[in-house]
Amino acid sequence: MSEESGPVADVGEAEVVRRRGPSIVWVIPVVALLIGATIWWQTNANRGPEVTILFEEGGGIEPGKTKVKYKGLEVGEVLEVGIRDIDTVEVKAELGPGAWPFMTSETKFWIEKPRVGAGGISGLDTLVSGAYIAVLPAVDPDGNP
């Protein structure tokens, strides 16, 4: 067996050029990071205060359903309800971004539900809508205490 060898082509040398700077592959993760940061910023910049409210009882309060109202207008929503200790129910609620100036340690919260007493009947609107948490800021929106 004999092998016949033909003419061998001249093989040239490859020139390796090393690029400087980042690869184009990094563009996609950087763009994804910027989009994620923008979404996170917009979500958190438009949030109002999250408040923890303590009540003696929490009848009718449901996370995600119970609203927080000021003068009949919805200003927030209950996020969580739990028992803090044997005598206390803890309610966490998120209020709208406009509520920041009015939230102080003097702000009053109470559960509004139908009541009948010597002074009359109150809270009849809750028969249809359910219980809600009413809020009375220590300072009203006009800046008056």
Burial-class residue 135 by CB neighbours within 10 Å (0-12, 13-18, 19+).
buried
* pLDDT tens, the chain, 145 aa long: 555 666 666 777 878 777 777 777 888 888 999 999 999 888 877 788 889 999 998 888 889 889 999 888 888 999 999 998 889 999 999 988 887 777 888 889 988 876 666 766 666 666 566 788 989 887 655 556 5
Q: What is the pLDDT of residue 45?
A: 79
Residue 78 · residue 63 · CB < 8 Å: yes
Q: What is the pLDDT of residue 54?
A: 92
- 135 CB contacts (<8 Å, ≥6 apart)? 68, 69, 70, 75, 76, 95, 107, 108, 109
Residue 92 · residue 51 · CB < 8 Å: yes
Residue 111 · residue 61 · CB < 8 Å: yes
